Structure 1
Amino acid sequence: MSALNDFDFLHGDWDVVNRRRTDFLDPESDWEEFSAVSRCWNLFRGAANIDEIDVPGQGWTGLTLRLFDVETERWSLNWSSSRSGRLFPPVLGRFGPDGRGEFHGDDTHDGKDVRVRFVWSGISETTARWEQAFSVDGGNSWLTNWTMDFTRRKAL
């Protein structure tokens, strides 16, 4: 399988359990949990995809546009939310031989520069896990602040 098909596992409909810190930069902050539904579809014959996540209990939707750069053989993951209507800076990376995907980028949160890490793991036909972590020290230490556990929706 080619790297441009790395995200084929995500195509389709998913139930998602979200857990995120109430303060992304505070390791002592509480966790909140909420459910969502996600749908992902393929573009560019596998070299791109979009997923849309609906979070009715929170009153927002989001989307990720993933693009495979043929020259660098890296993915860019580009997030936007209906809360802001803006595209956040991308995270870039790839999947390793172990099937774990790691993606990094730079952003700001609450006025502070942060290094951002997304990790995709636990990938199977029916499950996947996404995790976000921030670093305020250039990647020397990481604070996981959001996880999503995906379970494939059963056909009606």
Structure 2
Amino acid sequence: MTDPVSRRAVSLAVLAAGAVVLAPAGAQAMQTALDQHRHDWDWLAGSWNVQHHRLNSRLTGETQWTDFRGTCAMVPTLNGFGNMDDNWLDLPAGAYRAMGIRAFNPETRQWSIWWFDERSQTIDPPVRGGFENGVGTFTGEDTLRGQPIIVRFRWTDIATPHPHWEQAFSPDGGATWEVNWRMEFSRA
């Protein structure tokens, strides 16, 4: 014979198991779809060498680019629904560190990305978006020299040994884009 506390524990366990089995199929499918986003950035986890190619001046008609090296080390956070990376950028004018911070919003089903640069000690406004067919596209509003712009981050080749990131600015609400920074990643 079992004591009342043990019977109650068994009853609660059976009820909990039944609740999982009796959960609506739609809710379970929705949770499965949400859980897939937990792995959106798995390909970026770890340490990388980065080759940077940056336009010298943005939205000025500039055509000269500067190439430099850097590193990136990304760690997942928030049980896969967030991550952050520590970046070292070895610009010819002087090296600096920066940090990318990403978090997933389950309500909007979008990732937000913030960039923190040690030179200015500020966090840029976020870009938001997600992945479709192996391409990540993230956009957001910002200003450049006091003028409103749209910023776009785009990740491509994420299933290859050399993922590619680029940044573009649009001064005209997304009608035209100027790519001003490209990065090619390779495992460190």
Q: TM-score, normalised by structure 1?
A: 0.93
Amino acid paired to 1:112 = Q
Q: Provide the rounded CA distance (Å) in 2 between the counterparts of 1:109 and 1:34.
A: 23
Match of 1:56 in 2: 90
Q: Give the Å deviation of 1:125.
A: 5.1
Match of 2:27 in 1: none
Amino acid paired to 1:35 = R
Q: Give the Å deviation of 1:109.
A: 1.3
Match of 2:109 in 1: 73
Q: Provide the rounded CA distance (Å) in 1 between the counterparts of 2:53 and 2:82.
A: 27
Amino acid paired to 1:117 = R
Structure 2 unaligned blocks of 5 or more: 1-34
Q: Give the Å deviation of 1:127.
A: 1.8
- Residues 100 and 2 (structure 1), Cα distance of their counterparts in 2 relative to 1, 3 Å cut: same
Asked whether the equivalents of residues 27 and 143 of structure 1 are also in contact (C-alpha less than 8 Å), the reply is no
Q: TM-score, normalised by structure 2?
A: 0.78
Q: Give the Å deviation of 1:27.
A: 3.6
Amino acid paired to 1:140 = A
Aligned residues: 152
Structure 1 unaligned blocks of 5 or more: none
Match of 1:129 in 2: 164
Asked whether the equivalents of residues 152 and 167 of structure 2 are also in contact (C-alpha less than 8 Å), the reply is yes
Q: Provide the rounded CA distance (Å) in 2 between the counterparts of 1:63 and 1:108.
A: 20
Match of 1:148 in 2: 183
Q: Provide the rounded CA distance (Å) in 2 between the counterparts of 1:112 and 1:138.
A: 12
- Higher Cα Rg: structure 1 or 2? 2
Q: Provide the rounded CA distance (Å) in 2 between the counterparts of 1:3 and 1:18.
A: 28
The counterpart of 1:90, out of the listed 126, 136, 149, is 126
Bigger fraction of residues in helix: 2
Match of 1:118 in 2: 153
RMSD: 1.2
The answer on 1:42 being equivalent to 2:76 is yes
Q: Give the Å deviation of 1:113.
A: 1.1
